[in-house]
Every structure is written in C-alpha cells, then in structure tokens.
Copies of this chain bind each other. A is one copy, B any other.
Amino acid sequence: METTRIAILGYGNLGRGIETALAKAEDLELVAVFTRRDPASVKLASADVPVYAASELAAHAEEVDVLVLGGGSATDLPGQTPECAKLFNIVDSFDTHAHIPQHFAAVDAALRESGHVGAISMGWDPGLFSLARVIGNSMLPDGADYTFWGRGVSQGHSDAIRRIPGVKDARQYTVPVPAALEAVRNGENPQLTDRQKHTRECYVVAEEGADLAAIEQAIVTMPNYFEPYDTTVTFISQEELEANHAGIPHGGSVIRSGQTSDGTQHTVEFSLKLDSNPEFTGSVLAATARAIGRLSREGVTGCKTIFDIAPAYYSPLSGEELRSHLL
C-alpha cells in the first residue's frame, strides 16, 4: 500500500477530526497543518508535524499529495477550495446543498487547469447519505426518499440561539419524530411536513437577570430555524451544559421506500449513530484523501463527488483482499 502524504488546512473541530482519523490509517501520513491563526499558537495532537501559516501553502505544495480542507461552507470553502485547487489535489466537505453546482463548477475548472483531482461535499450529508440516496433511487426507481437527521447537535441552530440577547450559551438537538420514522420504515410512504419529521430541543444558559420568557419566545418564533417545528426550550446552568452537553453527537437515516411491482414493497435504509460529528466526518474525509491520492497517481483530473468514486478506492485493501473478505 503506497503512502499518501496529507496536509490539513484549518485546525478547528473538523481539522482535529481529520487528524484523529489519519492516526488510524497506516498508509496516510499527516505531513503538515496550515492555519490562518499564528502557527506558534496551534498545538497539534500529533508530535513532530509542522504547522504553517495558510499564506505559505504554495511554498509547500510539492510536499503534499492531498490537501484536506477543514473549513466551513458559509465563508471558508467557497473561496478556499478553488484557490487551493490551483496547487493541490483537494478534499472538502462543502455542505450548502443549494450552492453545490456552482462550487463544483469553480473547483472543477481550477483542478482541470492545474492538472489536479479532488472531491467536494464529502462527509456524511452530503457524502454517505448522498451515496445511500443514489443507490436507493437506482435500485428502486419507483419510490420516495426520506432523510431524517438526529438525534444530534445542530451547530447552525445552536449559533442562532446564541445570537439572541440575554443568551450566554446554547445547545440545540434535532430529533426525528419516532412515529414518522416508524411509518416510513413500514413502507407507508407518508407525506410529511417539517413539523411532522423533526422536533427541536434547545438547552439554553441565560445571562443573569435575563428575561427567560422573552428568550423562549424569540426562539420558538424564529422563522426557518424554529417556527416550522415543535420546539422545546429548557434553561440550564453553564455547569449542566458543560457536564451533559459537551459532545457533538449526530446521525440520522436515509430511507428509500418503493415498489418493484404493484403491492411489492421494499425499504432500503442507511443509518448513522455518531458520538462525534467532526471525528466521523474527519474519518470520511481521510478515506476520501486515500481515494484522491490513488486517482491522482492514475492520472485522473477534475472534480469528483461521492457519485464518481468506485468504493474500492476508499479502502487500503487490494481488489483481491476486498473480494475475498468483504464481498
């Protein structure tokens, strides 16, 4: 198994998750971390791996086979990924579904011009959940798709609560409605509104003397984020938040329900239960970096998604080993 030299851009939760995943893979070697902070202020979990300023990316391009981007989709990746694609084979986790086509076009153009290969929108949704959707749709063309998220922490919704005056900290869990999940699993093909699919549980630490009723009202009436859902708000202390809500668990299910002939019903389900969203996402990005390293050695160029990569590329096992042990 050939070694692939990996660098990480960005050392937040996801960057650390990628680093953790690389430690489990003998053929993937972390050779550098790039940061927009002062490199001297960044302490890696990995010993002896250099930390460089993001401005020095170009100077280290020859030392890296695949650059894995740990940034966020809102402000980091739309600019970073196409820029990095001029110099590196890349992997990112761009997850703003509505903007994927334009992100793909920008990254693909940069990769083709520079002769590199990359994969965008990897992780679990988009990523493994997308794989489950294309498999479900292809094998059951006459059917319906359902995606349930949770029980898990939504960073975006937690941030939205934190922006409300009087809120010190908050954690929001997205929770699938058990009856809806059950109906879908039973092949009942229900039509479900947002409210019927998920509830939202909010754990909020208020500032001293804050108007709790006003905070609760601001949350449950917030358009798009909370108004379309049944939302519960529970005020807790900072200590309780840190003791019971420190993790970043997530997960969910993609279900394809369909029929092959009249009344002959089938259900295909892919589910994840994750203790740590960034560590699992990092693990998917690490396996994708292996795939991109291989595609690059084969001379492939341009932008890929999970739809375009044969599954064997993610595995360190050979074709013979895969056929003997996993087929």
Contact = CB atoms under 8 A, between A and B. Distances in A.
A193 interface: no
A202 to B, nearest CB: 25
Interface in A133-150: 133-135, 137-142
Contact of A264 (B130, B279, B284, B320): B279
Contact of A315 (B134, B274, B276, B319): B134
Nearest to A187: B273
A175 to B, nearest CB: 17
Given A101-B324, A261-B279, A287-B139, A308 B315 contact: no
9 contacts: A20-B260, A100-B327, A101-B320, A101-B324, A134-B315, A261-B276, A266-B283, A267-B274, A308-B312
A209 to B, nearest CB: 38
B324 A24 contact: no
A185 B273 contact: yes
Interface in A263-277: 263-276
Smallest CB-CB A-B distances: 8 pairs? A138-B314, A307-B312, A260-B279, A267-B273, A133-B326, A138-B287, A269-B271, A138-B315
A298 to B, nearest CB: 13
A282 to B, nearest CB: 7
A187 B274 CA distance: 10
Interface size bracket, A side: 35 or more
Given A100-B327, A310-B310, A324-B100, A140 B283 contact: yes
A290 B139 CA distance: 11
Contacts of A323: 100-101, 104, 305, 307
A279 B185 CA distance: 19
A309 interface: yes
Contacts of A305: 322-323, 327
A128 interface: yes
Contacts of A324: 100-101
Given A272-B268, A305-B327, A311 B134 contact: yes
